[in-house]
Structure 1
Amino acid sequence: MDGVNVSVVIVNYNTLKMTNECIESLHKFTKDTVVEIVLVDNASTDGSKDFFSNDKRIRYLYLEENIGFGRANNVGAEVSYGKYIFLLNSDTILLDDVISKLFNFAEKHLKDDLGAVGTCLINSNKEDALSFGQFVTSKRIYRRLLETFKIYKNKFELETYAKLNEKGFLEVDFVSGADLFIPKTVFNKINGFDHDFFMYYEETDLQKRMSKLNLKRYIINVRDIIHLEGGSFEEKLPFRRKMMMTKGMKLYINKHFKGIYKFQIIILSFLILLKDLFKLNYTVSQKISLIREVFK
């Protein structure tokens, strides 16, 4: 498929309705850029296979087992034809031709060691949602703990959005994995997502490896994608999801930190976990298993 500018890779796992709405919005608003849509299905059992295998607008890949978010994206990227790969969550809805905006920005900055680009995601109320973040450091974990006791007020997001409104784009540590626009040459250079991550922290690890190669990650001041999950922390966060988060965090720590500093990060992460466990209505055995995971 010569001439494809952007390959949109979407991973589906039992989210037939949301995924279809995402695809519909892509087709409705994408006008000025040649795109293909690659849908990778992580062994869904909700009728997705019958539904999407007959959709001629997409390339549909059904996997016989759930191999996780990052690995499924790797599968889609491997068969893609585009100059750029746009990793888009299935629980997103486009409100405009955002792909053309990302493509045009990337083309202007491709020679400036471009690693990845994302937009300012919004929730269903059209309020700013989790769109970017900072890499894990002991200083940042200390600040998060101080926030809990009202000793410190984190102004990072407010200051970032203010700079974005002024400049139009901004370099960040990492972009949310919900809308990650990457040159395919870069994705191949860093060998895509680490297969050891099943879900959570895989996009942080991906962009940490970009940073080590001095590849830049940007957020642009565009609010054309609704992220239905919105990145919010829920008091009723399912235990299975919290365990995946904890495993992802520990894998990230083991991979990127060493020695005494690694031990310090683990201890601080444990304190953050304790803070979270006070909010979450888990059984004693579930809480113990999470704590054990941190110190494995």
Structure 2
Amino acid sequence: MTIDVSIIIVNYNTYDLVLQCIESVLKHTKNITFEIIVVDNNSPNRNIEQLNLIYPQVTLVLNENNSGFGIANNIGNKVAKGQFIFLLNSDTIVIDNSIYVLYKFMVENKNAGACGGNLCDIDLEPATSFTRFMPSLLSDIDYLFFNILSKLIYGNNINYCYDKLPIKINGNISGADLMISKKLFDELGGFDENFFMYYEETDLLFRVRQKNYETFIVPKSKIIHLEGASEAVKEIKLDWTYESKKKYYLKNKTKIGLIVSDFIFYLTILQRLFVFKLIGKKEKFNYWLIFYHWFRRK
């Protein structure tokens, strides 16, 4: 049987979320043939080994190491049989027939190298789904000035698409719900396995565009992403993010670009601390204070 979409879900200690995610996929996905592949990154909690007792149709791959997001998806891709692969975070809930919507768009638009949908929180409020610029001096300056450039060019469609029709994106698309043809993914060699976590999808999309494909957000596809914007900042995640940022810049840009980017980000931290102290936003001030202490340590 021909499989249209291989849905790859990476798990690390999120067993209950994986069950919820799979249930939503099975409930809402119509009009296509699909398979679900779960790759476990050697979770300390071994509940994942019970997965096939509940969902015997799911392909479960037990990785012997916690290899990170990119490698785990590459492992899932090795057993995937679909025409397209759909990277889906374990902390997502599919609503409506969103996977089919993305599949249909990819089939009908041969110039599309990859696409994603709109992400929203549990209350169906807009969540960050993409960025308008790839990591660069332009994106750093835009962020320093509270995304004023993005707002002037793109209006409200800065990181969530409020339009009804798909829009072309030259920035990053969230790896929480990313669809790409298996053929192209294989041609690119999958994710660069030097990235443990973060920036791996940024690097992938950079290479997709180097192949002269375009990337899109399809707003009719809407998926809940449970990762909260108010989630506490952990220094280990900041470390992972920075290490991946450094790898991305040294691979795709320049060392000088990295130094300038770091300097602008430090200015951003100081600016945010000053502004939020001035207007009495204690929670946001404390949020940026974590970045300040982390940056000084680095």
Q: TM-score, normalised by structure 1?
A: 0.86
2: CA distance between counterparts of 1:282 and 1:120?
A: 29
> More displaced, 53-62 or 80-89?
53-62
Counterpart check, 1:125 vs 2:123: yes
How has the CA–CA distance of structure 1 residues 193 and 66 changed in structure 2, closer, same or farther, with 3 Å as cutoff?
same
In structure 2, the residue matched to 1:52 is 51
Partner SS, residue 121 of structure 1: strand
- Is the Cα contact below 8 Å between 2:28 and 2:97 reproduced in 1? yes
Give the structure 1 partner of residue 196 of structure 2. Answer: 198
- Code of the residue aligned with 1:160 in structure 2: it is N
Q: Aligned letter for 1:247?
A: E
Q: Any idea what the Cα deviations from partners look like across 1:172-222, whole Å, max 9, x if unmatched? A: 023110000100011011111110111111111110111112111110122
1:127 counterpart SS class: coil
**Which residue does 1:14 correspond to in 2?**
13
Q: Report the Cα distance in structure 1 between the residues aligned to 2:291 and 2:157, rounded to whole angstroms.
A: 38
Match of 1:175 in 2: 173
1:25 matched to which residue of 2?
24
Partner of 1:84: 84
| Bigger shift: residues 169-178 or 79-88 | 169-178
1:38-74 Cα shifts (integer Å, max 9, x gaps): 0000011223333214331200001111000011001
For structure 2, the residue ranges without an aligned partner over 5 or more in a row are 274-284
Give the C-alpha shift of residue 154 in structure 1: 4.7
Q: Following TM superposition, by how much is the alpha carbon of 1:138 offset from its aligned partner in structure 2, in angstroms? A: 0.7
State the Cα distance separating 1:245 from its structure 2 match: 1.3
2:291 and 2:6 map into 1 onto residues whose CA distance is 43
Whether the 8 Å CA contact 2:144–2:265 is kept in 1: the answer is no
Q: 1:259 to 1:121 in 2, by over 3 A?
A: closer
Q: 1:56 to 1:32 in 2, by over 3 A?
A: same
Instruction: Quote the residue 1:248 is aligned against.
Output: 244
Aligned length: 282
Amino acid at match of 2:217: I
The 8 Å contact of residues 163 and 170 in structure 1, kept in 2 or not, is answered as no
* Corresponding residue of 1:68: 68
Distance 1:267 1:162 in 2: 24
User: Of the candidates 251, 254, 260, which is equivalent to residue 258 of structure 1?
Assistant: 254
Per the TM alignment, residue 280 of structure 1 is displaced from its structure 2 partner at its CA by: 4.7
In 2, are the aligned partners of 1:147 and 1:154 still within 8 Å (CA)?
no
**Change in CA separation of 1:206 and 1:117 when aligned onto 2, cut-off 3 Å:** same
Measure how far apart 1:147 and its partner are.
Answer: 2.4
Q: Give how far 1:255 is off.
A: 1.3
SS at match of 2:70: helix
Alignment identity in percent? Answer: 34
Structure 1 SS opposite 2:146:
helix
RMSD: 2.6
Task: Give the aligned residue type for 1:204.
Answer: T
Aligned-pair distance for 1:260? 4.2
Inter-partner Cα distance in structure 2 for 1:124 and 1:256: 36
| 1:99 correspondence with 2:99 | yes
Verify the 8 A CA contact 1:172 1:219 in the aligned structure 2.
yes
